[in-house]
Amino acid sequence: MASELLKLRFEEGEVRRKIDKADTNIKRALACQRFASSLSQRLNQVSAKFKKMKFEYRKRKGELSTTGNNPQDSDIEADSRLAVPKLDKKPPLVQLAATKQTGMEAIAATMTPQKDNPNRLRELQYKFNEQYLESMRMQQRQVELLEL
């Protein structure tokens, strides 16, 4: 194995060029990975990952031929049942948008002048001013508490 390694490292131009040319760690790692795969091919060794994939393929193929059930189909059905969102509940962003729209419509409805009550706009302005003053008082209290 050591002789094959040395032969690949110094005699095979492509592998040697890639390792020598690599200027970053990522490129060097990729070149070493290619070096390792070409070594395993030359020594007729198969990586463990390929063996595992081949085992899974043969297992599924055997299940399909003996029982007629395709395990991949049942996996897909199970995944699709889990992935379906509930229809009665909207995603949070949709709920937020709907709530915001409803709030804006309510504000617009209250701000439109009505024929039966022309002082409605003044009442709203008075309420907004009261809320503003109350929020200013709360901020002053918070500042006082922070200073203590």
Helices (H), 46-91: 48-67, 71-83
Give 62-103 pLDDT, tens digit per residue. Answer: 777 777 666 555 555 555 555 555 555 666 677 777 778 888
Report the C-alpha gap between 8 and 39 in whole angstroms.
7
Residues 6+ apart with CB under 8 A from 32: 19
Give 107-118 pLDDT, tens digit per residue. Answer: 877 776 666 566
Q: What angle do CA 132, 133, 134 make, to 5 degrees?
A: 90
Give the DSSP letter string of 3-45: HHHHHHHHT-HHHHHHHHH--SHHHHHHHHHHHHHHHHHHTT-
pTM above 0.85, yes or no: no
